[in-house]
Amino acid sequence: MSLEMGHWLQAAAALAVVLLLIWLTGRAFRAGGGAPRTGRRLAVQEVLALDPRRRLLLLRCDGREVLLLTGGGQDTVVGWLPPAPGSAP
């Protein structure tokens, strides 16, 4: 009976080690592993559903805005929008 208990203890210890390694790996990925980012370069400003498949997206990239049409046979860049009056370059 003690031999079976030894196997159970060994299996429990191995499981604990594996769970600890998974937890540590998750913490390392969440930490980013490098210097913190000062700001995001890409952001979704607005999304408009045109029909059940197609969406019109307004994205901001490096201070500029671009209009994208997605969900059809092919995604399309509708165009880059001019800067809004009074906005910083």
Domain contains 88: no
Confidence check: pLDDT of 36 > 80: no
Query: What does 35-62 look like in DSSP terms, one character per residue?
Result: PPPS--SEEEEEEEE-SSS-EEEEEEET
Confidence of residue 2 (pLDDT cuts 50, 70, 90): low
Are residues 32 and 1 both part of a single domain? yes
pTM of the complete model:
0.52
What residue numbers bound the domain in which 10 lies? 1-36
Are residues 47 and 24 both part of a single domain? no
Residue 63 CA to residue 43 CA, distance in Å, equals 10
- pLDDT score of 6: 86
Average pLDDT, the chain: 86
Mean pLDDT of 39-46: 89
Top-ranked range on mean pLDDT: pick from 27-31, 59-63, 67-71 = 67-71
Domain contains 67: yes
Are residues 52 and 76 both part of a single domain? yes
Task: Give how many domains the chain has, as a whole number.
Answer: 2
Are residues 75 and 46 both part of a single domain? yes
